[in-house]
């Protein structure tokens, strides 16, 4: 028996032909590629958090209900009265849980989303055995509502995912379009509104959960400043949430994440202030980018900015040579031709990026 034969006989063909999710090494770079909050907690809070983590019982499994953590999320993060949350090891696990729950074994199940969108929508559909249907955005990056409604009528998706604001484009879809999609799905399918960037958009469908039984709202603490602890949460009608709870792995949130999240939510005002600073920097960075020759800046409600430049590959290479790491999206989808995505950071890192970008643009235009 050869190892190649063993893999061919046991691993699904679509998995064998796929690639692992790649995360580039950021050592020594100004890291502006992953939409992280650049600010740490203040020193006194880090010391207090260290003391609290030192007392965590690492020898015990987590409390299965996560009661205190859920209570803080409901109280601090705007969950409607009478609604609970389901916790995940980041948004990625929540997406996987929803896909696994809705992937029927005896009939074709479809996950539908506008494209380009968060890559884990499609990857999770594939791994769960669902068919993925992508509906292209219009050239201005808005939803093509007639195409979305036609796709819903044709494919009858179990799940429709809408990032609000969208990643990687940064824009908020029109709320009336989302309402139309919710109505089109009716009681035949669910609509997941992914609000990972809600601290920067400050617009939400969370308060509207009681209006739509088929609405799920998903968020993460990653963009708020806690990317390292990997905690996502989602809310929906209680009877619906209970079905996804059956698929959630037991003990999926570790005790260190639980303790750190509870502590951070006790000081959520600090995180909210950091989000305010980043919204302020987003405006300043957008204005500075728009002033550069050959740069088109797209509106953003997230903590990143999408721009189009004359030659994305050349500019991206120039930035890498200057130790600035951003995301080159130019080959992700045709509507993103020559587009780059930049995380909004501190004034110092934004200034370093702008200087490197200006030099890279000049060099690319000279070639």
Question: What does the pLDDT read at residue 15?
Answer: 87
- CB 340 within 8 Å of CB 306: yes
Domains of the chain: 3-42+269-366 (3.90.1150.10), 57-268 (3.40.640.10)
**The two three-digit tokens of residue 138, written as one number:** 């219009």
13 alpha carbon, distance to own chain's centre: 28
Question: What does the pLDDT read at residue 106?
Answer: 82
pLDDT in tens, the chain (367 residues): 699 998 999 998 988 888 888 788 888 999 999 999 999 999 999 999 999 999 999 999 998 789 999 999 999 999 999 999 999 999 999 999 999 999 998 888 999 999 999 999 999 999 999 999 999 999 999 999 999 999 999 999 999 999 999 999 999 999 999 999 999 999 999 999 999 999 999 999 999 999 999 999 999 999 989 999 999 999 999 999 999 999 999 999 999 999 999 999 999 999 999 999 999 999 999 999 999 999 999 999 999 999 999 999 999 999 999 999 999 999 999 999 999 999 999 999 999 999 999 999 987 766 6
Question: What does the pLDDT read at residue 166?
Answer: 98
**143/128 Cα distance (integer angstroms):** 26
Question: What does the pLDDT read at residue 259?
Answer: 96
Which residues make beta-bridge pairs with 114? Answer: 135
Distances 1 to 5, 8, 11 between C-alpha atoms, Å: 7, 12, 15
**85/231 Cα distance (integer angstroms):** 12
- Buried b or exposed e, range 277-295, using 16+ CB within 10 angstroms: ebbebbeebbebbeeeeeb
Question: What does the pLDDT read at residue 65?
Answer: 84
**305/282 Cα distance (integer angstroms):** 8
| Residue 318 parent element (H or E) | helix 312-321
**The two three-digit tokens of residue 172, written as one number:** 């908020």
Question: What does the pLDDT read at residue 144?
Answer: 98
CB atoms inside a 10 Å sphere around CB 178: 23
**17/357 Cα distance (integer angstroms):** 36
- What is the number of residues in the chain? 367
State residue 188 phi and psi, 5-degree precision: -100, -10
Looking at 58-201, list the stretches that DSSP marks H as alpha helix, in order from N- to C-terminal side: 67-76, 90-102, 119-128, 145-155, 175-185, 198-201
Question: What does the pLDDT read at residue 25?
Answer: 80
Nearest Cα residue to 169 out of 333, 354, 358? 333
Global confidence as pTM: 0.94
């Amino acid at each position: 028996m050869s190892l190649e034969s063993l893999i061919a006989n046991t691993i699904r063909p679509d998995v064998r032909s796929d690639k692992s999710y790649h995360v580039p090494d950021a050592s020594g770079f100004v890291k502006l590629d992953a939409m992280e909050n650049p600010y740490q907690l203040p020193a006194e809070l880090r010391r207090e958090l260290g003391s609290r983590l030192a007392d965590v019982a690492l020898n015990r499994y987590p409390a299965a209900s996560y009661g205190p953590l859920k209570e803080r999320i409901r109280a601090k993060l705007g969950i409607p009265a009478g609604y609970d949350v389901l916790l995940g090891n980041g948004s990625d696990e929540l997406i996987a849980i929803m896909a696994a729950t809705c992937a029927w074994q005896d009939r074709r199940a479809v996950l539908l989303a506008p494209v380009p969108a968060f890559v884990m929508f499609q990857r999770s559909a594939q791994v769960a055995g669902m068919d993925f249907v992508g509906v292209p955005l219009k050239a201005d990056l808005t939803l093509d509502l007639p195409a979305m409604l036609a796709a819903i009528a044709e494919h009858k998706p179990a799940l429709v995912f809408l990032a609000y604001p969208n990643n990687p484009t940064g824009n908020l879809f029109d709320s009336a379009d989302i309402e139309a999609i919710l109505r089109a799905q009716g009681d035949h399918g669910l609509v997941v509104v992914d609000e990972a960037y809600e601290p920067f958009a400050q617009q939400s469908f969370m308060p509207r959960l009681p209006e739509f039984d088929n609405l799920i709202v998903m968020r993460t603490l990653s963009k708020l400043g806690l990317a390292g602890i990997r905690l996502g949460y989602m809310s929906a009608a209680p009877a619906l949430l209970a079905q996804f709870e059956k698929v959630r792995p037991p003990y999926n949130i570790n005790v260190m994440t639980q303790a750190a999240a509870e502590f951070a939510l006790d000081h959520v005002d600090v995180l909210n202030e950091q989000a305010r600073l980043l919204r302020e920097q987003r405006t300043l960075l957008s204005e500075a980018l728009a002033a550069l020759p050959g740069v088109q800046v797209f509106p953003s409600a997230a903590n990143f900015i999408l721009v189009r430049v004359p030659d994305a590959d050349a500019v991206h290479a120039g930035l890498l040579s200057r130790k600035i790491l951003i995301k080159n999206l130019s080959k992700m989808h045709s509507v993103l031709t020559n587009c780059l995505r930049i995380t909004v950071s501190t004034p110092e890192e934004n200034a370093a990026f702008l200087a490197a970008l200006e030099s890279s643009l000049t060099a690319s235009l000279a070639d």
